[in-house]
Copies of this chain bind each other. A is one copy, B any other.
Amino acid sequence: MAVTIKDVAKKADVAPSTVSRVIADNPRISATTKKRVRKAMKELGYHPNVNARNLAVRSTQAIGVIMPSSAETALQNPFFPEVLRGIGSVAHETEYSLYVSTGGNDEQLFEEVKRMVYGNRVDGMILLYSRDNDPIMDFLIQENFPFVVVGKPYQNESQITYVDNDNISASKEITKHLIDFGHEHIAFIGGTTDLVVTKDRLTGYLDALREEGIEYVDDYVVHDEFLRSSGRKAVEQLFSLEKPPTAMVIADDMMSLGVINMLEEFGVDCPEDVSITSFNNLYLSEITRPPLTTVDIQIYKLGIQSAKCLIEQLKSKDEPAKRLIVPYAIKYRHSTRKLD
């Protein structure tokens, strides 16, 4: 059907192997021959067949990107397109292709991953989430398949290369900001607790309270699905307390949106009645009312770095496990208020 390496070989009057080496820019081929072969390729409109190549070298030039199962509304979080953009950017320069997972639920996701691994569809993968007892991560480790995770692995931390923010100190810093503003009744609203990112952010919050000598109130920490129910439950719960919080640390910009929305329904104004700090610095967070004070975790950069790490790892098989912390930066906007 299509034009193959043989056709080119014939036209350039060389052997197929020579053509192959020209493609690989093998130094064994003289410049003049290369020129001739390349000319033939152009004229014939030759393009190598990746499948054949992959079969021969036993590698695809592809990396798999595993997102949380799409049943979770989490996927609607613009976080994902944004990391994807970062990953895609390095994938493009290095000529890797991107495979994305399609699983709707956890089981399907797992199937998908197996297909990728066993079927030799990808050379390595990037996990875009990290949760407790993740069977997928376990599987990858057991199969000794190259992967990197965006976020902190729930275990085997030292043997897995991952890129993450220092969520603990970010969280600590931002809740201290609240404390500096005179707040003492600070709530924490986080997503499902089996995401390690949630745990880290909670830890930072707790650390701040402790270090500043502020009493921890159990009722002040609530967990809710990231998007689901728009944080309604959380808000209801918090503002029916006899002493409602005057500030809150929310673990994700999208949640914050939901919360602010609920707040209004309850007649609570932000930042007048309650200050809010958040995480991620999605594009959205600056066009909401009020614009959110949030920690910029540099999503795009997370994507870039994870892809780079993975590719390095693929290149030299026994690259040591790395940990890469991308710095965060707090964006101070208008969702917090100094208490008088």
Residue positions of A touching B, CB distance < 8 A:
1-2, 47-52, 54-55, 58, 60, 62, 70, 73, 75-78, 80-82, 84-85, 87-89, 91-92, 95, 97-104, 108, 112, 114-116, 118-121, 227, 230, 257-258, 260-261, 264, 282-284, 286-289, 291
Q: Identify the 6 closest CB pairs spanning chains A and B, nearest first.
A: A88-B102, A47-B118, A50-B119, A261-B287, A51-B55, A51-B54
Known: A73-B283, A89-B102. A120 touches B84 (CB 8 A): no
A55, A60, A81, A257: most-surrounded residue (chain B CB, <10 A): A81
With a CB–CB cut-off of 8 A, which chain B residues contact A258?
A: 287
User: How far, in whole Å, are A114 and B46 apart by their CA atoms in the complex?
Assistant: 12
Shortest CB–CB separation between residue A232 and chain B, in angstroms? 10
Asked whether, in the complex, the Cβ of B102 is within 8 Å of the Cβ of A99, the reply is: no
Report the copy number of this chain in the oligomer: 2
Residues of B near A95 (CB, < 8 A) are 115
The CA-CA distance from A339 to B42 in the complex, in Å, is 66
Could you show 14 A-B contacts with beta carbons less than 8 Å apart? A51-B51, A70-B89, A75-B85, A76-B81, A78-B81, A88-B102, A89-B104, A92-B108, A92-B112, A97-B115, A100-B100, A230-B286, A257-B284, A284-B284
Residue from A48, A70, A112 with most neighbouring chain B CB atoms (10 Å)? A70
Smallest CB–CB gap between A200 and chain B, Å? Answer: 24
CA distance A81 to B78 in the complex (A): 8
Q: Complex Cα distance A172/B254, Å?
A: 32
**Which B residues are CB-close (under 8 A) to A87?**
102
Q: Are B82 and A81 in contact (CB under 8 A)?
A: no
Do A261 and B283 touch (CB < 8 A)?
no
